[in-house]
Chains A and B, each alone.
Chain A
Amino acid sequence: MTVRVQREDFDTAAELERVAAGQTQIGAVVTFTGLVRDFADARNDTQSDARGVQRMTLEQYPGMTQRQLEAIVAEARRRWPLDDCLVIHRYGELLPGDRIVLVVTASAHRQAAFEASAFLVDWLKTRAPFWKLEEHGGQRRWVEAKASDDEAASRWNR
């Protein structure tokens, strides 16, 4: 089980290779990669204003981010029989197309791996202390939290 919060990019194939290496009880590996989009979510803006994100800066809370991600991974392991689990989340300056986050879940069977992956992504979106600052057309804007993310995360409450 690994959690890394880092500025630098990651190599998805190499990370994936490491997860399943030497663990022949693993039958399913699910990978989620989050990327920087070039359009912002339309909020009060018109659709045309919401396009054209040129750069994103991801701020984090050093220490708490690592701690919260580890707590989320621990919760996933309590709920599903995972053989391995990896979360890498980047921070700092990112460009459209850049990788932001990698979540890998491994289990004997696919259902646990799929569900744990969705759970981890939903929870890290609503609990991990990161904030996105988008720049487009010379303007900076803090991305606002979305109610749809809270709804997605709430389906795991029990």
Chain B
Amino acid sequence: MRVLYFALLRERVGMAEETVSPPTEVRTVADLVVWLRGRSEQHEAALANAAMVRVAVNQDYAQPSDAVRPGDEIAFFPPVTGG
């Protein structure tokens, strides 16, 4: 699956995008966050504070319990500040 990072989270992780193949027991957004946080200190710094992280699955807002599947586009970003 493709994982994208935006704004402050992109800077913290140190990359805009990565392709990952998590183990099959990673079934939800919440599972994926736990798995990604174990990948590096940078991932941990970016994703540790759940209140500051929004998630989209295939470009729609997602909740922690929502499913993630191989081939999905998963994006992590801070609360938005447009307008």
A residues with a Cβ closer than 8 A to B are 34, 58-61, 63-64, 67-68, 89, 100-101, 121, 124-133, 142-145, 149
State the CA gap A85–B83 with chains docked (Å).
16
Is the Cβ of A145 less than 8 Å from the Cβ of B80?
yes
Interface of A is mostly: mixed
Q: A67-B59, A130-B81, A131-B6 are in contact. List 18 more A-B contacts (CB 8 A).
A: A58-B82, A60-B82, A61-B56, A67-B60, A89-B82, A101-B83, A124-B83, A125-B80, A127-B61, A127-B80, A129-B6, A130-B80, A131-B77, A133-B7, A142-B8, A142-B78, A144-B79, A145-B78
Residues on the A chain within 8 Å of B77, using CB:
61, 129, 131
- Which residue, of A60, A131, A143, has the highest number of chain B Cβ atoms within 10 A? A131
Q: List 13 A-B contacts (CB under 8 A).
A: A60-B82, A61-B59, A64-B60, A89-B83, A100-B83, A128-B82, A129-B77, A130-B81, A130-B83, A131-B6, A131-B78, A142-B7, A145-B78
How many residue-residue contacts, CB under 8 A, span A and B? 71
Do A130 and B4 form a contact, CB below 8 Å, given A61-B77, A64-B59? no
Residues facing A in B29-83 (CB within 8 A) are 56, 59-61, 75, 77-83
Is the Cβ of B75 less than 8 Å from the Cβ of A132?
no
- Which residue, of B6, B60, B75, B82, has the highest number of chain A Cβ atoms within 10 A? B82
Is the Cβ of B83 less than 8 Å from the Cβ of A129?
no
Leading 4 A-B pairs by shortest Cβ distance: A130-B82, A145-B79, A131-B7, A125-B83
Residues on the B chain within 8 Å of A132, using CB:
81-82
